[in-house]
């Protein structure tokens, strides 16, 4: 599972390759829906200590033509060293695999995207030995998916759109549409996208907005939300061994769907608890805490009102 916004911007191409056709299509490269995609090693190291890694490399086998390699780089800011690195990536991959190579750079801000489009020339004494022309996707050319039906039909593209537009004014509309779309999806599929955005948006205003959406819809029982389905499945698994164990299973399942690590000590504390009131409290908080350990933090009682002094 992804661990940061940088990881998310390229890893989603590995984990949800269905976004390749629409993303490349809007960049002017036709790719049929039927294409076989698998990850290729990203290690381009030939000798030590020179170590080079591409973020993601995919071998794409379209149904209407020859295979090619897609090197995906996530770029958060300008980096003067990338011109030579990207030229090396393209040349090395083409030489090693004897396949054409396309370099795709994913950016989340307009200034970086404009810079990343290049071209990047390798020039010596007025002679250009090589030019690199990356394809770039960013806020200016990636559509904002704000329609619930579109988000439900293309959840991977909607999640990718949310990540790419995380700092754009329209991010709230994107997240609202995706949140509503996930309510109608099978939780096993929706759980990936919930975790993806929870982790990749991180502690940002967009991340806070996303967690508010998921927490809010979870307080309406019977609507089939991601967290509700996770809780119900976990609870069902545990009901056979008692109500408390069923509640504990539900708590653990919600934490799992949210992608929060559960230590052995925390798991034992949850599964051995027989206090239903305490388990219900943990369940309420499982949808909002940022760490499993926060479940066990006592919420201080409000201070009693003191009389005003005359």
Q: Is the pLDDT of residue 144 over 60?
A: yes
| Contacts of residue 187, Cβ cutoff 8 Å, sequence gap at least 6 | 224, 226, 229, 230, 233, 257
pTM of the shown model: 0.63
Band (pLDDT 50/70/90 cuts) for residue 135 is: very high
Question: What are the residue ranges spanned by the domains of the chain?
Answer: 5-44+52-137, 148-218, 226-296
Task: Provide the 3-class DSSP secondary structure of residue 96.
Answer: helix
What does the block give as tokens for 172?
């709230």
Nearest in space to 247 (alpha carbons), one of 288, 286, 276: 276
Q: Is the pLDDT of residue 255 over 50?
A: yes
pLDDT on residue 244: 74
| d(C-alpha 295, C-alpha 155), whole Å | 30
171-183 and 187-201 are packed helices; what angle lies between their axes, rounded to 10 degrees?
160
Report pLDDT digits (tens) over 290-309.
888 888 876 544 445 544 33
Nearest in space to 8 (alpha carbons), one of 263, 259, 288, 293: 259
| pLDDT top residue among 71 and 274 | 71
Q: Is the pLDDT of residue 3 over 90?
A: no
Report pLDDT digits (tens) over 31-76.
777 677 766 766 655 544 445 678 888 898 888 888 899 999 989 8
pLDDT on residue 225: 52
Per the listing, tokens 């599929």 go with: 189
Chain center to CA of 40 = 20
pLDDT on residue 223: 47
Across all residues in the chain, what is the average pLDDT?
Answer: 79
| d(C-alpha 149, C-alpha 166), whole Å | 21
Q: Is the pLDDT of residue 288 over 80?
A: no
């Amino acid at each position: 599972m992804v661990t940061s916004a940088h990881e998310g911007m390229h890893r989603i191409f590995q984990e949800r390759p269905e976004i390749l056709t629409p993303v490349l299509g809007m960049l002017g490269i036709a790719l049929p829906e039927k294409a076989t995609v698998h990850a290729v090693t990203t290690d381009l190291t030939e000798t030590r200590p020179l170590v080079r890694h591409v973020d993601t490399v995919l071998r794409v086998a379209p149904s209407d033509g020859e295979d090619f390699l897609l090197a995906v780089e996530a770029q958060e800011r300008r980096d003067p060293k990338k011109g030579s690195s990207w030229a090396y990536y393209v040349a090395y991959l083409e030489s090693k695999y004897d396949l054409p190579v396309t370099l795709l750079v994913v950016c989340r801000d307009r200034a970086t995207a404009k810079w990343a489009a290049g071209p990047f020339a390798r020039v010596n004494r007025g002679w250009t030995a090589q030019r690199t022309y990356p394809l770039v996707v960013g806020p200016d050319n990636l559509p904002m998916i704000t329609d619930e039906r579109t988000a439900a039909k293309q959840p991977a593209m909607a999640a990718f759109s949310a990540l790419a537009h995380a700092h754009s004014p329209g991010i709230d509309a994107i997240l609202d549409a995706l949140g509503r779309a996930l309510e109608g999806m099978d939780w096993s599929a929706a759980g990936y996208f919930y975790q993806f955005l929870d982790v990749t948006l991180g502690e940002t205003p967009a991340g806070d907005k996303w967690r508010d959406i998921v927490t809010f819809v979870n307080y309406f029982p019977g609507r089939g939300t991601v967290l509700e389905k996770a809780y119900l499945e976990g609870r069902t698994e545990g009901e056979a061994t008692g109500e408390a164990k069923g509640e504990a299973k539900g708590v653990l399942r919600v934490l799992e769907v949210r992608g929060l690590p559960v230590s052995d000590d925390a798991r034992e504390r949850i599964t051995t608890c027989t206090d239903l009131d305490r388990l219900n409290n943990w369940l309420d908080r499982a949808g909002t805490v940022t760490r499993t350990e926060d479940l066990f933090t006592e919420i201080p009682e409000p201070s009693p009102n003191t009389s005003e002094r005359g």
